[in-house]
Structure 1
Amino acid sequence: MSECDTIVGVSGGVDSSVAAMLLRDQAASGGARIAGLFMDNWADDGSGDCRAEDDRRDAVAVCGTLGLPIHFRDFSSEYWQGVFEHFLAEYARGRTPNPDVLCNREIKFKHFLEAARGLGAARIATGHYARIGKQGGRWQLLRAADRAKDQSYFLHQLGQSQLAATLFPLGELVKADVRAMARAAGLPTADKRDSTGICFIGERDFRGFLSRYLPARAGEIQTPDGRCLGQHTGVFYFTLGQREGLQIGGIRGFAAAPWYVVGKDVGRNILFVDQGSDSPYLFSTTTWTEEAHWISGSPPGRRFACHAQVRYRQREEPCEVTVEDPGTLRVVFDRPQRAVTPGQSLVLYDEQACLGGAVIASTDAPLESRQRGEARRSTTA
């Protein structure tokens, strides 16, 4: 007999707490055995800002309240190598990565799944807001019932083997009901605030955190036509569409309108800005990606129509997808998209089903197109 049938990833938050409670209640009638597992994914960096110990205590308290055994695993080394080093490398290239996508693929649905199987469990469960279905003998990743909390965007790198061994107990619930369930059950995490932002940064200043690993390198802030407006401390501290932190304003000869990041030239260490959130320099219609991952194992065709998101909580947009060699994508949107950012994930949907996705490589935004043209000319000169 195995030690347990299902291992729930308990993070010390209300979502995983209720997921564990629901599985415990379901298991009580069928004789299945449930246990929790807390993952240490980030080693204490000495800043005093890491919440891992608080989360660990809350996870222990939740399992104690539910009468569930709890296990612990330290994945901080795997997280550093599989997630954080990639995060730094992408920022150094001037791109904006999404560590939550990598964390799910490399930690929660790889190392956590392996650890659960090592404990004798056949399945894992998490507090993600998503659903799993099956059609034509293939597993599907489906949007959550609570569209505002749907996390399928972050889960698009999962495949058939992971989905076959995973449960999402919150997939049919809305967040308000999850909190109400936690309060009714007296769970210690019922009113705990949801974590926001990048997990290993938490509430810290992003630029201050990043500067510990990518030292500041000052350069010019320019308009798209080359006029210098000031100095930045490092192009990798900024992302497309960003307004905060530019520290420019009231410049003679320009209107009193806010400035936004519209492009970066990492080689020349230039940050490009323009006025207005609807600057034409922020918009693109065509996006090219790195090699795509397909949840079913293969794309639905070499060319097909579907919907896509280029950021979390964005409304999905209609597009046409062309699968190019060696598996990269060319995605043409029906209407221009704002601030499509290299390094982020483009995720594809067919109604409620997530098809998969890929990392954004480039777009036809004006400054990117200009830089590609300059690069081609320099190589042929």
Structure 2
Amino acid sequence: MKKKKVILAMSGGVDSSVSAWLLLKKGYDVEGIFMKNWEENDSSDYCSSKIDLSDAKSVCKKLGIKLHTINFSLDYWEKVFHEFIIEYKKGYTPNPDILCNKIIKFDICLNFALEQLKADYFSTGHYAAIKKKKNEYYLYRAKDLDKDQSYFLYTLKLNILPKIIFPLANIKKTKIRKLAKKIKLCVYQKKDSTGICFIQPKKFKLFLNQYIPYKTGKILTMSGEFLGLHYGYEYYTIGQRKGLGIGGKKNKNTYPWYVVKKNIKLNIIFVVQGAGNPYLLSYGFLTKRIYWINYKLCTFKLQCMVQIRHQSYPINCIVYINKKHKNNYVIFTKPIASIAPGQSAVFYNHNQCMGGAIIHKRIKYLP
């Protein structure tokens, strides 16, 4: 009997590397594919694709599988990064990893694997799970809730779920590293990638400055008191604490400062003190479009849970759906802090990922 062919997206990291080994153990005919999504300044500190490709080649050689390399940098630039910069200039806080999954990995690359490489399945090293119940497919959180990445996958379309395999669905991250060491993969100690696909968070400001020039502006309190200067509203997000450079002000208490509001036209950011400051709180948000994975779950009024950032705890909410695709309202059962327009809010029914939306406007606790 001919083995089912799986094309696995390999990043050169430990998760995708162990995923390849797990798929082989299950009897699949496995081939890897390395996606190059960034062309410019490839030799700089911002991009590690050469190192990652070398690691992916080493792992594939060790496991005895073929590795395809494909350059999607033009698609990434035009369909992901360009949109990312546009949203930043609007003062929003976009998540390019979600857009990359939607457009590059689970559309362009998946279709390339199935159509050009004649694969039966497409696989990645994401921590997430796909379950089949009564002939329907659903997206679920991974067993390792601390590493769960279903938040980044809410735009997956229902029709592709039967073609996707997540080998790490039921395995803890600690076990992944132990397996990598046991089978002598060179990447068993390699650090996890964080932040945007191609850049570390600590270097993000310097990287972004290549595309959005610094524009000095004022930092004010909500009462209009001047506290200092900033680099430009694009470099700050609602709820941001670090990098403001205004700590230790005279006649002020020791509570940390947080960005609470941005005036785009005047290039002013407003700040308040204390993580629980009422000005930071919202009791809901508006969104223009909701991506539902399973449309049957969509009703006018839906009680579920919502997660507004990757590592935050989901909270109870009610989603009021406007079927004319205008503003949909999401109301929390209690106010929460630091919601930023442009962020993704992902809806869950227990551990099932139902879909998600991009926050358009927060419903403020205080005007």
What is the TM-score normalised by the length of structure 2? Answer: 0.95
**Shift in Å at residue 277 of structure 1?**
1.5
Q: 1:81 aligns with which of 59, 78, 81?
A: 78
Corresponding residue for residue 106 of structure 2: 109
Could you tell me which amino acid in structure 1 is paired with residue 9 of structure 2? G
SS of the equivalent of 1:131 reads strand
Task: Decide whether the 8 Å contact of 1:2 with 1:121 is kept in 2.
Answer: no
Match among 202, 208, 215 for residue 217 of structure 1: 215
Cα distance in structure 2, aligned partners of 1:66 and 1:46 = 28
Aligned-pair RMSD on alpha carbons?
1.8
After TM superposition, where is structure 1 displaced by more than 4 Å over at least 4 residues in a row?
1-4
Of 44-53 and 135-144, more deviation after overlay is shown by 44-53
Aligned residue for 1:113, secondary structure, equals helix
Cα separation, partners in 2 of 1:259 and 1:48, compared to 1, 3 Å: same
Instruction: State the distance in 2 between where 1:189 and 1:200 align.
Output: 18
Give the secondary structure class of the aligned counterpart of 2:100: helix
Give the stretch that moved more between structures: 149-158 or 288-297.
288-297
Aligned to 1:373: none
Matches within 5 A, 1:169-318: 169-202=167-200, 204-318=202-316
1:338 maps to which residue? 337
**Count of residues paired in the alignment:** 364
Query: Matches of 2:174 and 2:127 in 1, distance apart?
Result: 13
Deviations 1:50-70 (A, max 9, x none): 100000000001111100011
Change (3 A) 1:203 1:90: closer
Aligned residue type for 1:265: N
Structure 2, unmatched stretches of 5+, are none
**Kept in 1: contact 2:13–2:190 (CA 8 A):** yes
For the pair 1:60 / 2:60, whether they are aligned, the reply is no
Summarize the Cα distance change of 1:189–1:258 in structure 2 as closer, same or farther, 3 Å threshold: same
Deviates more, 1:172-181 or 1:299-308: 299-308
Q: What is the Cα deviation at residue 135 of structure 1?
A: 2.7
* Residue 43, structure 1, aligned to residue 42, structure 2: no
Q: Is the 8 A contact 2:307 2:313 kept in 1?
A: yes
Deviation at 1:211, TM superposition (A): 1.1
Match of 1:220, SS state, is: strand
Structure 2 counterpart of 1:22? 22
Correspondence 1:119-134 to 2 at 5 A: 119-134=117-132
Q: Is the contact made by 2:42 and 2:48 (CA closer than 8 Å) also made in structure 1?
A: no
Distance in 2, matches of 1:46 and 1:8, equals 23
What is the percent sequence identity of the aligned residues? 42
TM-score between the two structures when normalised by the length of structure 1:
0.92
